[in-house]
Amino acid sequence: MLRFFLLSALAALALAEPKYIEQIPRTRVVGGEVSQPNAWPWQRTWRVVLGDHVLNTIDGREQFKTVSQVYIHPNWNRNDLAAGYDIALLRLSSDATLNSYVKLATLPPSGQILPNNNLCYITGWGLTSSGGYLSAQLKQAYLPSVNFQTCSRSDWWASIVKTTMVCAGGGGNSGCQGDSGGPLNCRVGGRYSVHGVTSFVSSLGCNTIRKPTVFTRVSGFVGWIQGVKVRTSCVGGL
């Protein structure tokens, strides 16, 4: 049974407040290649379409869901993205059906920190370069993790990046404006988990050298995620 979705607060605001959508730059995967269909079965589109691979094409694998509630982290400040806490949960109005095209994402253990250069992939639809063209097919791009000691250096992100964030990339591949809310899928112990939620990139360009894509570090919010699920289960179930 699937009822909750994890994404960034910025993306959640786009869903919860339609008038806010035009204020959010479109973010997309830069570089990379088209993924295999349904290789990342926890990926979702803006419309909360599960099992999607090619946008605007219905092949019978999709599940269309509405959202009954948006839970934004209480410390999120829309006027200060660099302060962190860019994370939210969506509660679907009905359960999703789990199958080979729609599966649950795995969360990392609470507090887990990725080592430098860990194998990770960002996934999403959209611009393949700053100011480039959209991709109708779900794309994936290899983004190795960058540890906090490196990412917080003065010639990287300096004090803008916080310990509640995780950096990945910094070379030719990256996320981009509008990709907010998508997952950073990292392989640890032989399995992929969602270690990051896409948050922001450099204003100098999506794939600027030494400005890796910055994600909310999911392992820092596992307690909050579980708390939301427990509270909502007491008033209507998951």
pLDDT(175) > 80: yes
CA distance 29 to 126: 6
CA distance 184 to 163: 16
pLDDT(23) > 50: no
Q: Span 72-86, mean pLDDT?
A: 92
Q: Which position has the token pair 């779900």?
A: 138
pLDDT(235) > 60: no
pLDDT tens per residue, range 210-227 = 999 999 999 999 999 999
Domain boundaries for CATH 2.40.10.10 within the chain: 2-25+41-103+221-233, 120-219
Predicted confidence at residue 169, as pLDDT, reads: 94
Mention every residue, 6+ apart, whose C-beta is less than 8 A from residue 236.
none
pLDDT category of residue 183 using cuts at 50, 70 and 90: very high
pLDDT category of residue 20 using cuts at 50, 70 and 90: very low
CA distance 5 to 44: 9
Mention every residue, 6+ apart, whose C-beta is less than 8 A from residue 149.
none
pLDDT category of residue 163 using cuts at 50, 70 and 90: very high
Q: Span 5-14, mean pLDDT?
A: 58
Confirm if 214 and 105 have CB atoms less than 8 A apart.
Answer: no
Q: Span 35-50, mean pLDDT?
A: 72
Confirm if 89 and 228 have CB atoms less than 8 A apart.
Answer: yes
Predicted confidence at residue 18, as pLDDT, reads: 35
The token pair at 47 is 């419309």
pTM: 0.82
Out of 20-34, 47-61, 130-144, 209-223, pick the least confident. 20-34
Predicted confidence at residue 178, as pLDDT, reads: 62
pLDDT(21) > 60: no
Higher pLDDT, 126 or 28: 126
CA distance 88 to 44: 14
- The fold for domain 120-219 equals Thrombin, subunit H (2.40.10)
Predicted confidence at residue 128, as pLDDT, reads: 63
> Mapping DSSP to helix (H, G, I), strand (E, B) and coil, where does residue 58 land?
coil
The token pair at 101 is 């095209």
Q: Span 21-46, mean pLDDT?
A: 58
Higher pLDDT, 29 or 176: 176
Q: Is it true that domain 2-25+41-103+221-233 has CATH number 2.40.10.10?
A: yes
Q: Choose among 97, 101, 75: nearest CA to 86.
A: 75
> Mapping DSSP to helix (H, G, I), strand (E, B) and coil, where does residue 66 land?
coil
